[in-house]
Structure 1
C-alpha cells in the first residue's frame, strides 16, 4: 500500500456512546471529511449492518468526486469496525478502533491504500491530506457528540 495514515484522539465521553455513533454509517456525512452521502447498499448475511455489509459513499477529495463501496470485513462493537473497498478509484482499507481511556475514549482511524496511477505518484501529498482529514474527522466527531449532550 502506498498510503498508511493513522490519527487518534481522546474523546471525553464513554466508549459505547462514541463507538455507536462513529460506527453507524448513517452518521458518516455528519463527521467525516468530504463525504456527502452514505447508504447501506448491501446488508450483512444476517441482515442489517455487520460483517459482509456494504456501504456506498460519495465523497469529494482534492476537488474530485469519488464514488466507492466499502465492505465490512470485521465488526466488533464497540471496539472495531474494519472496512475494505470493493469498488472505487483506488484500493482502500479503513479501520476504526475504540478503547477505554482514563479521560473517556481513545478513538483511532487508520487508512491504507492508494496503489496505482495518480494516487501512487501523489502519495506524499495524499498522505498529508488524508492525515489532515482524519484529524478533522475526529475533532468533528467529538464536537458532534458533545453537542448532543
Structure 2
C-alpha cells in the first residue's frame, strides 16, 4: 500500500486554485507525468465523470481512467481508478491559508500491481518527489497569472 500526502501554499484565492486544479484539461500543464487527457463523459466535471489520462511514470506509458467520486467545489475532489498496473485514489483538498492564499493538499493512495517488490519499496519516495514537483509547477502557473 502506498499513501503519499503533499501540501503547498499558493498565493491565490481558494476559488482560483480549486477551479484550475480541478479542471482535468489543465492536468498536462502542471502534472509532469500526464501527457494527455480525454473526457469519456461530457464536461463539466461532476460526480460520476470519467476522464482518461495518458501518463509516463517509471519508464512506462500508462493509460487509465479516473472516475470522480466526490466533488465539493472549492473544498475537496476525489477521483479513483481501479484498472491498470497502479489502482489509485487521488484526493485534492483546498483551504484558506490567509485572505489571499490557499493551502492545497494532494494525496495519492493505492496498491501497485505489476511492479516488483523492490520497485514498491521506492514507489512512495518517488511519488512524493513527483507530487511536490507538480504542486510547485501549479503554484508557479497560478502565481504568475
Match of 2:6? 7
Match of 1:48? 44
Q: Displacement, 1:48?
A: 2.7
Q: Displacement, 1:120?
A: 5.0
Match of 2:24? 25
Q: Does 1:137 align with 2:134?
A: yes
* Number of residue-to-residue matches in the alignment: 144
Question: Within 2, Cα distance between the matches of 1:54 and 1:84?
Answer: 10
CA 1:119/1:29 → structure 2, altered by over 3 Å: closer, same or farther? farther
Structure 2: gaps (5+ residues)? none
CA contact (8 A) 2:85 2:113 kept: no
1:48-127 counterparts in 2 under 5 A? 48-102=44-98, 104-118=101-115, 120-127=117-124
State the Cα deviation string for residues 35-74 of structure 1 (Å, max 9, x = none): 000121124xxx6311000110000001110001100010
Question: Within 1, Cα distance between the matches of 2:112 and 2:33?
Answer: 20
Question: Within 2, Cα distance between the matches of 1:78 and 1:120?
Answer: 38
CA 1:130/1:14 → structure 2, altered by over 3 Å: closer, same or farther? same
**What's the RMSD between the two structures over aligned residues?**
1.5
Question: Within 2, Cα distance between the matches of 1:57 and 1:80?
Answer: 20
Q: Secondary structure, in 3 states, of the residue corresponding to 2:136?
A: helix
CA contact (8 A) 1:13 1:104 kept: yes
Q: Secondary structure, in 3 states, of the residue corresponding to 2:47?
A: coil
Question: Normalization by structure 1: what TM-score?
Answer: 0.90
